[in-house]
Amino acid sequence: MMKEFMARLGKPTPSFFKSLRNIGLAVGAVGTALITAPVVLPAAVVTLGGYLVVTGSVMGIVAQTATEKNYLQKRVNGKFSKGYIYED
Domain that includes residue 77, residue range: 2-84
- Long-range CB contacts for residues 22-26, cutoff 8 Å, separation at least 24: 23/59, 24/55, 24/56, 24/57, 24/58, 24/59, 24/60, 24/63, 25/56, 25/60, 26/56
Task: Report pLDDT for 85.
Answer: 47
pLDDT tens-digit series, residues 7-29: 777 778 888 889 999 999 999 99
Number of domains present in the structure of the chain = 1
Would you say the pTM of this structure is higher than 0.75? no
